[in-house]
């Protein structure tokens, strides 16, 4: 097993999962990347087939879970329902308190498999539609779009969704992964660690930035309004959502891939409007913050992913949950690593001055 879950070079813009560059991982199925993160090695063909079969078999939710979804507030962000439902289902997992590697692996597979179904069922319920049961013949991304839209997705959209989950899967000790690790360090169960991750991911400085990017692009409306908007934000010393990163001081490699994907979608749909609006925002930020003021503020993972959702007609209400669907494999990989250490994370208050 390769022990390096993640490697980031924030100056060169390099990202690797288990020592494999993100640009090599991007064309694999999400299931293979999930396997790599959790088990530490890329799967052989037979291992991948078995892992995928186990994941696809665990996608379903029962009537009780649907009842809980219906009782959630259907008018707010899907993250609120997601963390409620994950907490609820934990109580019925027969392996909840089994902290052996096998018990944790069974829970991991259930969690990775069922989270997309919860998000899709919530979304359809919130929109007055019947939930669509998962299709075990479809890959992770295609199945999610199918459950959202109720029809087999366009191949390019399915590919983009699969790649979105891969790009979102892991990012070292980001805030939500740190939360998950702290929970796991107390030897609490995997569901609790995932709920901790969800609660942290939803903040607007972290995964919540994605939905704010969508709202921002909508507000700006067209390329010619971008510069004025950016200048006003800088003048008021406000953050521009989808830009900047604690670790990357150059282009975020995930942002670069998302930009290419959003261009492909725009071209395939014959509608460059949202892509060109986003590019005008990016150009204005680079000009004003990087070139004029020397600040290393580049588009991060959340910027062009927001553009992709606009083309795929995915509403802002789902954006952070989609991030969570991808990131869950990374959280689990870190929890497994933390369980092995059997050591509680307990920093002293002065260490926060470094954060
Ligand atoms: N727009 C304008 N100025 C910015 C931005 C931005 N998005 N990000 C940083 N800056 C400026 C900031 O004003 C500060 O300037 P000064 O030194 O003059 O006070 C300087 O850059 C350093 O900013 P910081 O907030 O101290 O940097 P940080 O490393 O603590 O924060 C960040 C990183 C991602 C929280 C921040 O860049 C930010 O709030 N970005 C917008 C929200 C966002 O897109 N979040 C998603 C992050 S990536 C994916 C994820 O983690 O989920």
Nearest alpha-carbon partner for 242 in 160, 190, 297: 297
Query: How far apart are the C-alpha atoms of 220 and 59, rounded to whole Å?
Result: 39
What is the complex's ipTM, to 2 decimals? Answer: 0.98
Q: List the domains of the chain with CATH numbers.
A: 6-202+318-341 (1.10.580.10), 209-311 (1.10.230.10)
User: Does pLDDT of 165 surpass 90?
Assistant: yes
301 touches ligand 1 (CB under 6 Å): yes
- What are the tens digits of pLDDT across the range 195-231? 999 999 999 999 999 999 999 999 999 999 999 999 9
Nearest CA to ligand 1 atom 36: 244
Nearest CA to ligand 1 atom 26: 246
* Phi then psi dihedrals of residue 6, to 5 deg: -145, 145
Strands (E), the chain: 6-9, 14-17, 20-21
Residue 353: predicted pLDDT = 84
User: Does pLDDT of 2 surpass 80?
Assistant: no
Query: How far apart are the C-alpha atoms of 218 and 98, rounded to whole Å?
Result: 47
Which ligand 1 atom is the nearest neighbour of the CA of 244?
37
Nearest CA to ligand 1 atom 34: 245
User: Does pLDDT of 354 surpass 90?
Assistant: no
* Mean pLDDT on 18-30: 98
206 touches ligand 1 (CB under 6 Å): yes
205 touches ligand 1 (CB under 6 Å): yes
* Phi then psi dihedrals of residue 73, to 5 deg: -70, 115
CA of 244 to the centre of ligand 1 (A): 5
- Sign (positive/negative) of CA torsion 121, 114, 187, 247? negative
Residue 166: which pLDDT band, with cuts at 50, 70 and 90? very high
Nearest alpha-carbon partner for 177 in 41, 22, 326, 30: 326
Catalytic residues: 245, 302
Which ligand 1 atom is the nearest neighbour of the CA of 213?
44
């Amino acid at each position: 097993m390769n022990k390096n879950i993640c490697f980031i070079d924030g100056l060169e813009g390099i990202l690797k999962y288990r020592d494999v560059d993100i640009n090599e991982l991007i064309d694999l199925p999400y299931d293979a990347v999930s396997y790599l993160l959790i088990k530490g090695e890329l799967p052989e063909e037979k291992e991948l087939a078995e892992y995928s079969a186990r994941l696809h078999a665990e996608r379903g939710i029962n009537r009780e879970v649907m009842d809980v979804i219906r009782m959630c507030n259907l008018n707010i962000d899907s993250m609120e329902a997601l963390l409620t439902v994950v907490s609820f289902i934990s109580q019925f997992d027969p392996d909840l308190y089994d902290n052996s590697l096998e018990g944790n692996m069974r829970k991991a597979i259930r969690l990775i498999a069922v989270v997309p179904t919860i998000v899709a069922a919530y979304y359809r319920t919130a929109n007055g539609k019947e939930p669509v049961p998962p299709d075990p013949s479809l890959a992770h991304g295609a199945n999610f779009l199918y459950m959202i839209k109720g029809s087999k997705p366009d191949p390019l959209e399915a590919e983009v969704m699969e790649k979105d989950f891969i790009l979102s899967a892991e990012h070292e000790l980001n805030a939500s992964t740190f939360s998950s690790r702290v929970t796991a360090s107390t030897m609490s169960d995997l569901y609790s660690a995932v709920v901790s991750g969800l609660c942290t991911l939803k903040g607007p400085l972290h995964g919540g930035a994605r939905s704010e990017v969508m709202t921002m692009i909508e507000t700006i409306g067209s390329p010619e309004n971008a510069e004025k908007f950016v200048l006003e934000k800088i003048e008021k010393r406000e953050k521009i959502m989808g830009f900047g990163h604690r670790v990357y001081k150059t282009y975020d490699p995930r942002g670069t891939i998302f930009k290419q994907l959003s261009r492909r979608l725009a071209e395939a749909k014959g509608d460059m409007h949202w892509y060109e609006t986003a590019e005008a925002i990016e150009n204005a930020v680079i000009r004003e913050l990087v070139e004029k003021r020397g600040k290393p503020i580049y588009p991060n993972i959340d910027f062009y992913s927001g553009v992709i959702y606009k083309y795929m007609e995915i509403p802002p209400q789902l954006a952070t949950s989609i991030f969570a669907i991808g990131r869950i494999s990374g959280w689990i990989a870190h929890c497994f690593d933390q369980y092995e250490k059997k050591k509680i994370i307990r920093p002293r208050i002065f260490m926060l001055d470094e954060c």
